[in-house]
Structure 1
Amino acid sequence: MTTELKIGQFAKQVGVNIETIRYYERLNLLGPTSRLPSGYRLYDRDSQRRLRFIKNAQTLGFTLHEIEELLDLRVSSKARCGDVQRKAEAKLKHVEAKVRDLQSLATALQRLIRTCRAGQPTDHCPILQSLEGEKAGTVHATKRR
C-alpha cells in the first residue's frame, strides 16, 4: 500500500513551500498522484522523488526548462545516459563561463578598491566615478587636488 500525502504534508516532507509545488504543477513538472473527493491533492513516493530531483537539479544550476528536458529523458525509453551527459556538459560550460565573468568582476572591484582613498570626499571617489562612467568596472583617471 502506497502512502499518499496531502500537499501540506508533502511540502513539509520535501522541505519546500506549498506554492512551489503549485508552481511546478502549473509548469507540468509535477502533478498529484490522485485527488480526494474533496479536491485535496495527494502525492506518493514517486512524486517525492520527482520533487527532490527538481530541487537537486536546481542546486546544480539547471533552469526549470532544462529540468523539464532532463525529466523527459528520464522517462524516455529511447534516451541514453549520453544524452543526459551532454546536457550536464553544456551546463558545466555555462557555469565555467559564469565563473570567469565573476572572476573578472572580482578583479575589477579589487582594482577599484585599491584606488580608493578612504579619507577623501565622495565627489573624488574613484569607485563612484567609475560607476558613473560609460563602462563600469574601469578605473578612470582622477585629478588629485
Structure 2
Amino acid sequence: MFSAIRSAARVRALPPLGIAKTSFISFRLAPGYRTLVTTRYTQEHEAVAFDDATGVGTVSITDHAQESLGDVVFVELPAIGSRVGKGDQIGAVESVKAASDIYAPVSGEVLEVNERLNDEPGLLNRSPQNDGWLCKIKLANPSEMEALLTAEGYKEVCDS
C-alpha cells in the first residue's frame, strides 16, 4: 500500500513540459493496477490522450491552436457512433478571427462528444485539453499513436 501512495505522489510531482497541463505521461491508479495515459500531437494542432487500459483516446485542440484562433464562438462536433479514419475531418471551430477544420488524429469509432461545447464554446479557450476536449474515440489501431508527435516534437513544430 505504501509503495502505491509513494508512486502516486511521485507522478504528481512531475513538472509539465510547458505545452499543456496534460502534455506529459501520467498514471492513473485503480484498484490493483495502473493504466498509462499518453498524450500525442499532430502538426495540425490536435492532441489525443490515449488510455491503454480502455483503448480510448480523448481528442482536443492544443493550447497553441486556441491562442491562434482567438475567442471561439462555435464548435461543430462529430456524430456519436461514426467511424473516422486518421486525417478525416471530424468537426470545425469558428472564432472571431477565423474558422478551422478539426481532423482525427487517429482512426476509430466516436464514442462520446463534449456536449458542453454546444453551450460553452469558450471552454476551448479556457481549457482546451481538459474541460474543452472534443470527442472520445475507441482506437481501431492503437499503434497509430506512435506516429504522432511527442510533446518535445510538437514544441519544435510550434517553435519553427
Same fold (TM over 0.5): no
More helix by share: 1
TM-score scaled by length of structure 1: 0.23
Greater RCO, 1 or 2 (C-alpha within 8 Å, sep 6+):
2
TM-score scaled by structure 2?
Answer: 0.21
Larger Rg: 1
